[in-house]
Amino acid sequence: MFGIPSTMPSSVFDELWRLQQEVDELFGSWSSPLGIRSLPRGSFPAVNVGQTPERVEIYLFAPGIDPKSLDISIQQNLLTVSGKREVGAREEADYYRQERFSGEFRRVISLPEDVDPERVQAKYADGIVQIGVQRREAARPRQIEIH
Amino acid sequence: MATNTEVSRRGSSAATQASSGPAAQRGQSAETPIRPPVDIWEDKDGITLCADMPGVSKDRLNLRVDGNNLIIEGQVQLELAENAEALYADVRSSLYRRSFSLSGELETGKIEANLKDGVLTVHIPKRAELRPRKIEVQAS
């Protein structure tokens, strides 16, 4: 299809394709429809968002940064994180691989509508920025009893 | 810098551990590991490798040399509530794994490692007798 060299067993590519399909199916509900501000996978920093009825937790996978240099802001339900990571190249060294992200970054994350921008906490450990946002009481599901 | 040195010592002791880390035990699971992005460079002293492994703490890092291979493994630990559900996830595995084959002029017994803020730095020195020597060209 893409000019696969004839020496390559095509089953490898079939296998990869099948895996991709499986992953898309498994996680499709998270990524589709795509958020208008979402970035392609592989962007820095990677983001995971989890929720409970009380809180929304955002995890930014941002290794090797100074957390103080991060600019984190929240407006309504939009969380914006920007910063810089400099992976300085050594002089007098020969590089074989330079895969790690270097430069400025910015990510905007849409959170559920009911988050309270007044109640946010953030911490940094082992290269992960964890931001916790409380949700408004009124929006939490309530058990309704039948009398 | 003091803490850095401490991390480095602990890191290198982790390097000597055989496959006994938590990541090794979970290595059997069906989870597809993440290949951490790396920078690798060489200077006159040896080869240095830097890997991004956010979420891995020292006790969940498993760095080992198996025969000719340098194997890097780590388990991500996120602080998650019991009843949490995922809304969005770029990271869909909690295991990092990557391996590199080493060459004979490297001193695998003297590998030093340091883990700080989710960045693993591994330095593999070259054997002293094999470090490049400048060869002077004699003018006749």
CATH number of the domain encompassing residue A115: 2.60.40.790
Q: What pLDDT is recorded for position A46?
A: 93
Total domains present in chain A: 1
Instruction: With respect to residue A29, please indicate whether it lies within any of the assigned structural domains.
Output: no
Beta strands (DSSP E) in chain B are 38-42, 46-52, 61-66, 69-75, 85-89, 95-101, 112-116, 119-125
Tell me the pLDDT tens digit for each residue of A16-62. Answer: 766 666 665 555 545 455 677 777 767 899 999 999 989 999 999 99
> Which is higher by pLDDT, B89 or A134?
A134
Say which of B38, B43, B83 has its CB closest to residue A93: B43
Contacting A residues, span 32-51, partner chain B, CB-CB under 8 Å: 35, 41, 43, 45-51
* Contact flag B116-A43 (C-beta cutoff 8 Å): no
B40 and A52 within 8 Å at the Cβ level: the answer is: no
Q: Which two tokens stand for residue B39?
A: 């920078």
Please indicate, yes or no, if residue B135 is contained in any of the structural domains. Answer: no
Q: How confident is the model at residue A92 (pLDDT cuts 50, 70, 90)?
A: confident
In this complex, which of A51, A65, A128 lies closest to B85 when CB atoms are compared?
A51
Model pTM score: 0.73
Task: Tell me, yes or no, whether A10 lies in a domain.
Answer: no
Rounded CA-CA distance A127/A133 in Å is: 20
With CB atoms and an 8 Å threshold, state whether A127 touches B57: no
Q: Is residue A75 situated within a structural domain?
A: yes
Interface residues on B facing A, Cβ-Cβ cutoff 8 A: 32, 37-44, 48, 50, 52-57, 77-81, 83-92, 116-119
Position B136 in a domain: no
Given a cut of 50, whether residue B15 has pLDDT beyond it is no
Question: Helix, strand, or coil here: B126?
Answer: strand
Distances from the Cα of B103 to the Cα of A60, B2, B18, B46, angstroms: 36, 32, 20, 11
**Structural domain contains residue A134:** yes
For residues B112-120, give the mean pLDDT.
96
> A68-79 burial, b for 16+ CB within 10 Å, e for fewer?
eebebebeebeb
Query: Residue A110's domain spans which residues?
Result: 35-89+97-139
Q: Which of A49-53, B49-53, B90-94 has the largest mean confidence?
A: B49-53
pLDDT score recorded for residue A38: 74
Q: What is the CATH number of the domain that holds B8?
A: 2.60.40.790
Cβ of A51 within 8 Å of Cβ of B87? The answer is: yes
> Residue B54 in contact with residue A128, Cβ under 8 Å?
yes
- CB burial of B19-51 (b: ≥16 within 10 Å; e: otherwise) equals eebbbbebbeeeeebbebbbbbbeeeebbbbbb
The average confidence (pLDDT) of chain A is 82
DSSP H or E run through A47? strand A46-51
Please give the structure tokens belonging to residue A34.
């795509």
Structure tokens at A97: 């691989």
Residue B134 located in a structural domain? no
In a domain, B139, yes or no: no
Q: Where are the alpha helices (DSSP H) in A90-133?
A: none
Helix (H, G, I), strand (E, B) or coil at A24: helix
For residue B40, tell me if it sits in a domain: yes
Q: Is the pLDDT of residue A14 over 80?
A: no
d(CA B50, CA B39): 5
Q: How far is CA A58 from CA A50, B25, B109, in A?
A: 7, 28, 40
Binning pLDDT at 50, 70 and 90, where does residue A90 land? confident
What part of A 67-86 touches B (C-beta under 8 Å)? none
Tokens encoding B9? 């010592």
Range of the domain at B84: 2-128
Tokens of A18: 């099948």
For chain B, what is the domain count? 1
